[in-house]
Amino acid sequence: MQINKYIDFTNLKADAKTADIIRLCEIAKAHDYASVCVNSRFVSLCKKQLEGSGVNVACVVGFPLGAMSMDAKAYEARKAVEDGADEIDMVIAVGAVKERDNAYVYEDIKAVRACGAVVKVILETCLLTDEEIAFASRICAEAGADFVKTSTGFSTGGATLEAVKIMKENCGKCRIKASGGIRDYDTAVKYIEAGVSRIGTSSEL
């Protein structure tokens, strides 16, 4: 199976250097991955490095906790798009999900959606119950998210096939991105066969 266009090739490390991000882009171009996923500091660099390659630039927003204010997330998303981001991977307000605060979760996503880019909403499924994963997936669909995404890769756990199944049953027309702990081709294929449209990984697959 050709999986290159499923891959969001990722470096979100706090100590990532310019040379590391240039290398990330070089590998992504060589494999013709779907995108590179980086922190906002590196968006303009990636846009320049990937010009004409067909590889998109994705930027994380509200990362990794999701507990930033709605306005802060919206600004971060707008600035990333101004700098060249094609896609935004935002972290949901996890506490608001747990409180079942429909209005806040919905408006938080909509505020980021206003940036005009493709938006992937990270649920951080390791912190949620099955019922909370279902609830969050439904709100993402209602708010017009393009993707629901399992994990940041920076919390207590990563993607699971069980979480993907719940997301798929509840996310409507949203596509699904699995990330966190997917480090080899065979694991990636299992997630794709389960209905995932994107794989977030820092491993060269």
Q: In CATH, what number is assigned to the domain containing residue 134?
A: 3.20.20.70
Task: Say which of 73, 86, 120, 177 is annotated catalytic.
Answer: 177
Q: List the domain range (segments joined by +) for residue 90.
A: 57-195
Helix (H) or strand (E) holding 199: strand 198-201
Confidence of residue 8 (pLDDT cuts 50, 70, 90): very high
98 is an active site residue:
no
Nearest residue to 136 (alpha-carbon basis) of 157, 112, 167:
167
Q: pLDDT tens, 107-166?
A: 999 999 999 999 999 999 999 999 999 999 999 999 999 999 999 999 999 999 999 999
177 is an active site residue:
yes
Average pLDDT score over the chain? 98
Cα separation of 8 and 31, whole Å?
Answer: 11
Percent of the chain with pLDDT strictly greater than 90: 100
Q: Tell me, what's the pLDDT at 159?
A: 98
Residue 22 lies in a domain: no
The amino acid sitting at 10 is: T
Residue 64 lies in a domain: yes
Nearest residue to 104 (alpha-carbon basis) of 115, 92, 96, 114:
96
Task: Say which of 8, 73, 146, 149 is annotated catalytic.
Answer: 149
Residue 34 lies in a domain: no
Task: Say which of 8, 86, 89, 108 is annotated catalytic.
Answer: 89
48 is an active site residue:
no
Q: pLDDT tens, 37-49?
A: 999 999 999 999 9
> How many structural domains is the chain composed of?
1
Confidence of residue 58 (pLDDT cuts 50, 70, 90): very high
Q: Tell me, what's the pLDDT at 147?
A: 98
In order, the DSSP letters of 113-137 are HTT-SEEEEE--GGGS-HHHHHHHH
Confidence of residue 34 (pLDDT cuts 50, 70, 90): very high
Residue 105 lies in a domain: yes
Residue 167 lies in a domain: yes
In order, the DSSP letters of 25-72 are HHHHHHHT-SEEEE-GGGHHHHHHHTTTSS-EEEEEESTTT--S-HHH
Residue 114 lies in a domain: yes
Stretch 49-53: mean pLDDT, rounded?
Answer: 98
Q: Tell me, what's the pLDDT at 122?
A: 98
Residue 27 lies in a domain: no
Residue 83 lies in a domain: yes
DSSP letter at 99? T
